[in-house]
Structure 1
């Protein structure tokens, strides 16, 4: 029979065993043995080996001193059942916990629990929260903690990594509804991990495993492996020694050496977040990782995250008064790349109180899409952000949601300080992006904007002036900027809310949304200026379907989508709000809540319903008769049967083309008044010559005569030079794609 010391070290250092599965029984005088989780036991500490009475693994006794049982090699108890990405013995495993509503408690996440769908992007947040151990009478913790909770909620991060966390803060977080509803805690909330090392990880992305490695007294690295659309990613957090410690620089050097060895053994993508207490390049150089802030903002951007000159809380603890960028998000990945990086908590309350002595850092990463263009889009976001360093540039729309079709536009919203001078913004972009083609201001928009082509993709950039409000908080506080600005900024929150609405099946949503939008594009239903549904509306419908039935295989899920919406009563709104008088209402998911379908006419609603029924019938037939050819589902519609005549519009490309598209809804309304309520504008041009682009408008079953059509065209195309409209009969129906 082996000794208790031998059993302990066998479990601790043999990679085939999971220490978190083991409990040790320790003798206590006059009472039953104390049960101690093996990872909590300290060899050579206060408990001598002869007081260890037994070892249990997964509830089974595998070693017992009194009976002589020693069967640790004869049982599967305590064994690692799936390969771990956090290598043992460097990491000691921890058990992630999630809030269980029926039990009204935080309970362990079962290893075999079905994983929710994986996210299409990864938003990471690191923040040193300033614990209350020192100078408690000068840092107003009671007032700061609610500010911190509000800021964390507004940050909308997939993984939250906190340093200088305390049990009191942990208790506040775990009692907060939005945390309970969406996040998993990396370890047992009843344990000592947070109290001992001050590190805290929360993830709303599925957590595959968790672990802890101690670097020294009160210093550690905590880690979780989360599932993303790009595969498993290790997200870790640390807090290195500061110069307040004796020999702080020497201790940091040893901690970095320890981290470099441990992280190098982790397979795949690794993110390390935290307070490195080093304002230079040493951490990323020693660890062989990239600094996400530098990737997004440029290597010369040294924006501080700890600034005693502006933040009185930082001045309390600073030894030098020097501003430094201590807080980082370091990245080691071939698949994920940072597309945005911003400070949080750098704006005080009106009476001058900051959330912490450090500012938070939020980084968003995205991966490559199926056609590879996502990496190009991410690079565009990075370069536009670098050109506007005082602002905050957000990808929106399908790019943000991860469901962009090949060649889709790159839609951006830039929150810019002050008055958001559009001319100055254009000049900065021109200087930073000399290869951009056709950089111009967008006319007729409710908010200013710029349009250009870069790397083969069209970029639409909406700019929002935030005045005295920091661009970093503009999305969260958008309603303070007026309705127009709030509507523009809600494109960011709308996209995030659509992803959240798809939970727990985000991966299914992104696949479904792409399929649905490809179908809508092929059938000519995808353009709001032409009276169809915009991408946001299709995404809202896809997210709702994925949430309800995302565990179905792809084809049954697509069939479920069309079955659901083909029979939908369009007198009912989709979303939280009133339908009003619109024929079809899909509401935006975040404030200011509004219909994104106000352009749909009664005839347009009927056409959309007809198309949904057609697709449903095709897929139902496939369920009985066999596979559905994609060409049948996404075949061009029989336009020669729908329209008795056509209006062919010729317009110069560029600005004039944009003006014409801006008048399409008015043109369709005029045709309806003239007796053609089922007129339908095809969303894309069907032809072009050296000077003009041609668009086709089907005039329905009862088209106006040539004179009435000419009168409508003259009125609606007035002011667009060289624009022309002619009538074509059914036999001359254009070939549309």
Structure 2
């Protein structure tokens, strides 16, 4: 029989065992043995080996001193069940904890429990040094700051939150917060000593596969979790290196970085390291061979500080030098993920001047990389879009603000709107929401209520991007549960909330080729925009429809190179029988019946309530889409596989002069009137079809504008109505839109549309 010391070291250093699943029974005088988790036991410490009476794994006794049991090699108990990404012995295993509502307590996450749906779309990470209360407690107003911090963390809407200088009191506040209990997993036991010992706390709302901790020295460590990210597992680690307040701080940081470089080199796959590095230069990323996400997004010359004693009184209290520095970083190992946005949090004080912490938080969005994406995306625009989401969420803290549409799917074209769905408790007071947003977003331009929508909404421009905000009243449901339980809220609300689940389903359906889907969807949507096929209000296909078709193509053939994959897309859908509905799975109609005839063209939404998202496409519109798909297919058939995508040919303007014998030019005022006109476009096209112009086609973008008015062009097809009939249609359908005008232009006066 081996000794307890031998068994301990066998478990601790043999990579086949998971130390987090072992417990030591330690003798106590006059009472039952004390149960000590093996990772918390200190060899050579206060407890001598002879007091270890038994060792359990997964509830099974694998070693027992009194009976002579020694069966650690004869059982599967305590064995690693899947290859670990946090290598042992560098990382000591920790057990993630999730809140159990039935038990009203935090409970270990069982390895056997079915995992939630994996993350789709970008992975958002947040790091924040929260300023603990150990020093200068009479000058930093912790009691008032903590509620501000919880509100800011909730509004950040991050998938993984990494906190430094966390304390048991902050852990208690977070673990009691309903939004944390409902949505997040803790990277360690909330009743354990990890937070008290090293001040690090990780929270994740995406599935946590494993967790671990490595001590760098007294009160210094690196904590890590492995989560489901876009395309697979991602290791997210958090650390807080020694500051110059520590004796010989620079030397200690150097040793800590050397330790990290050795340990993290053994971590396979995607890796992000977050935290306060207490170094304003490039040493951390250089020593670790990692990329600074902020520099990747904003450029290497951007030195925006995260610790600024010149503006933040809390930083002035703790600063030794008064130096402005970027101490807080998100470092990534550039593999399959790329930083898409990076923004500061907490850099604006509360109305009374109080800051959340002496450090600003850093929120970074990581997106799946693709070979050609860098040339097609604008990191600065993505950063602005992410900032808009954060600011709107902060303005509506009682609700849950979801990003939807192409930006959630990662396939937005330049200048695309930011589509948001806000689930708000109780009933929605839209004028009140508008006033609150106006107060919180004073730089928002042209805010207006959306009329004629199924649920209330607002449209405005912020930071140069259009924002489309839909509001949904959740009644007695919590906003956090609104998307998953949307059917309980009625048809209109369920449809609005399904914009969120639809985007997630499209990404999931593209597996295992999400990067290929992103690239393909952008190519297809760029082509559709150039050819005027991309606007549902104008009788074209919405972005969701093109994304559904691209996701299905990527799932089936995403291992093809970019040009052959694009060719396969057009070949598939050019030859499609549009008497059948198209969707992510087999053809079916909205009622679920296979091969249901749903003319003229139907693309189904991916999630309930399942419906057609192309009801606005007319028979002539279907014929036009089919014609354009065939044209693109023919162009790509003649292109060599090894060459670039022939975008100049694909995106050439359509032959509008040949398609239309005359035009209707509509002029409306900027702002709300333009929105009202676009809302009547389908009715206008239907009236033109009744008047003998079934092939009329509205160009989706303005063809001209001045300081007060904007112009749209409607091609009247090969058999346009005469001037009198056109005037009658315009007078009837533009009634109620002040200063709206319609004039006829013959072929020679056709506008130049791009």
Aligned residue in 2 for 1:732: none
Aligned residue in 2 for 1:633: none
Relative distance call for 1:391 and 1:20 in structure 2 (3 A) is closer
Aligned residue in 1 for 2:367: 366
Q: Distance in 2 between matches of 1:172 and 1:660?
A: 48
Relative distance call for 1:233 and 1:147 in structure 2 (3 A) is same
- Alpha-carbon contact 1:161-1:202 (below 8 Å) kept: yes
Alignment pair present for 1:121 and 2:122 = yes
Q: Distance in 2 between matches of 1:719 and 1:669?
A: 21
- Alpha-carbon contact 2:726-2:744 (below 8 Å) kept: no
The SS at the match of 2:341 is strand
Aligned residue in 1 for 2:245: 244
Structure 1 residue 712: deviation in Å?
6.6
Aligned residue in 1 for 2:14: 14
Alignment pair present for 1:527 and 2:535 = yes
- Correspondence list, 1:318-717, <5 A: 318-368=319-369, 372-378=371-377, 380-382=378-380, 398-402=405-409, 404=411, 409-411=413-415, 484-485=460-461, 490-491=467-468, 501=501, 507-508=507-508, 527-531=535-539, 534-535=542-543, 557=585, 562-563=590-591, 648=661, 669-670=683-684, 672=686, 676=690, 681-682=696-697, 704=721, 708-709=725-726, 716-717=742-743
Q: Distance in 2 between matches of 1:483 and 1:664?
A: 14
Alignment pair present for 1:219 and 2:220 = yes
Structure 1 residue 131: deviation in Å?
1.1
Structure 1 residue 167: deviation in Å?
1.5
- Correspondence list, 1:124-143, <5 A: 124-143=125-144
Q: Which runs of 5+ in 2 are unaligned?
A: 393-401, 419-436, 450-457, 472-482, 484-496, 552-581, 596-604, 606-610, 623-658, 666-672, 701-711, 732-740
Deviations 1:408-435 (A, max 9, x none): 6223579xxxxxxxxxxxxxxxxxxxxx
- Alpha-carbon contact 1:54-1:65 (below 8 Å) kept: yes
Relative distance call for 1:141 and 1:7 in structure 2 (3 A) is same
Q: Distance in 1 between matches of 2:470 and 2:245?
A: 40
Aligned residue in 2 for 1:655: none
Q: Distance in 1 between matches of 2:142 and 2:160?
A: 24
- Alpha-carbon contact 2:275-2:330 (below 8 Å) kept: yes
- Alpha-carbon contact 1:478-1:485 (below 8 Å) kept: no
Q: What's the Cα RMSD here?
A: 5.0
Aligned residue in 2 for 1:724: 750
Alignment pair present for 1:104 and 2:93 = no
TM-score between both structures, scaled by the size of structure 2: 0.65
Relative distance call for 1:606 and 1:490 in structure 2 (3 A) is closer
Q: Distance in 2 between matches of 1:516 and 1:214?
A: 45
Aligned residue in 2 for 1:592: none
Deviations 1:295-354 (A, max 9, x none): 111111111111111111111111111111100000102211112111110101122100
Q: Distance in 1 between matches of 2:316 and 2:211?
A: 35
The SS at the match of 1:15 is coil
- Alpha-carbon contact 2:661-2:718 (below 8 Å) kept: no
The SS at the match of 2:172 is helix
Q: Distance in 2 between matches of 1:559 and 1:706?
A: 44
Q: Distance in 1 between matches of 2:161 and 2:688?
A: 58
Relative distance call for 1:28 and 1:710 in structure 2 (3 A) is same
Q: Distance in 2 between matches of 1:351 and 1:604?
A: 52
Bigger shift: residues 554-563 or 232-241: 554-563
Q: Distance in 2 between matches of 1:694 and 1:262?
A: 62
Structure 1 residue 391: deviation in Å?
14
Aligned residue in 2 for 1:619: none
Q: Distance in 2 between matches of 1:566 and 1:647?
A: 38
Deviations 1:14-60 (A, max 9, x none): 11110011000101001111010000001111101111111111111
The SS at the match of 2:316 is helix
Relative distance call for 1:675 and 1:328 in structure 2 (3 A) is closer
Structure 1 residue 711: deviation in Å?
8.0
Structure 1 residue 535: deviation in Å?
3.1
Aligned residue in 1 for 2:284: 283
- Alpha-carbon contact 1:679-1:699 (below 8 Å) kept: no
Alignment pair present for 1:164 and 2:181 = no
Relative distance call for 1:375 and 1:180 in structure 2 (3 A) is farther
- Alpha-carbon contact 1:340-1:381 (below 8 Å) kept: yes
Deviations 1:181-231 (A, max 9, x none): 221111121211111111111111211111111111111101111112221
Aligned residue in 2 for 1:424: none
Structure 1 residue 290: deviation in Å?
0.7
- Alpha-carbon contact 2:336-2:369 (below 8 Å) kept: yes
Bigger shift: residues 716-725 or 80-89: 716-725
Relative distance call for 1:305 and 1:351 in structure 2 (3 A) is same
Structure 1 residue 534: deviation in Å?
3.9
- Alpha-carbon contact 1:117-1:507 (below 8 Å) kept: no
Q: Distance in 1 between matches of 2:150 and 2:256?
A: 30
Aligned residue in 2 for 1:23: 23
Q: Distance in 1 between matches of 2:389 and 2:102?
A: 45
Structure 1 residue 676: deviation in Å?
2.4
TM-score between both structures, scaled by the size of structure 1: 0.66
- Alpha-carbon contact 1:396-1:491 (below 8 Å) kept: no
Structure 1 residue 398: deviation in Å?
4.7
Relative distance call for 1:664 and 1:192 in structure 2 (3 A) is closer
Q: Distance in 1 between matches of 2:388 and 2:308?
A: 17
Aligned residue in 1 for 2:197: 196
The SS at the match of 1:137 is coil
Aligned length: 572
- Alpha-carbon contact 2:539-2:618 (below 8 Å) kept: no
Deviations 1:471-495 (A, max 9, x none): 8xx89x999xx9634796645999x
The SS at the match of 1:315 is helix
Structure 1 residue 710: deviation in Å?
8.4
Structure 1 residue 151: deviation in Å?
0.9
Structure 1 residue 510: deviation in Å?
6.3
Q: Distance in 1 between matches of 2:10 and 2:66?
A: 20
Relative distance call for 1:499 and 1:152 in structure 2 (3 A) is farther
- Alpha-carbon contact 2:97-2:108 (below 8 Å) kept: yes
Structure 1 residue 130: deviation in Å?
0.8
Aligned residue in 1 for 2:307: 306
Structure 1 residue 115: deviation in Å?
3.7
Q: Which runs of 5+ in 1 are unaligned?
A: 415-464, 544-553, 568-585, 587-596, 612-645, 653-658, 686-692, 726-737
Relative distance call for 1:469 and 1:675 in structure 2 (3 A) is closer
- Alpha-carbon contact 1:397-1:536 (below 8 Å) kept: no
Structure 1 residue 516: deviation in Å?
11
Q: Distance in 2 between matches of 1:492 and 1:207?
A: 31
The SS at the match of 2:415 is strand
- Alpha-carbon contact 2:663-2:745 (below 8 Å) kept: no
Q: Distance in 1 between matches of 2:165 and 2:498?
A: 33
Relative distance call for 1:240 and 1:340 in structure 2 (3 A) is same
Deviations 1:668-722 (A, max 9, x none): 545655782895755779xxxxxxx99755699xx85686348879963569995
Structure 1 residue 468: deviation in Å?
9.9
Q: Distance in 2 between matches of 1:198 and 1:478?
A: 46
Deviations 1:343-387 (A, max 9, x none): 110101122100000000011121136xx5544334x2248869x
Structure 1 residue 501: deviation in Å?
4.1
Structure 1 residue 102: deviation in Å?
2.3
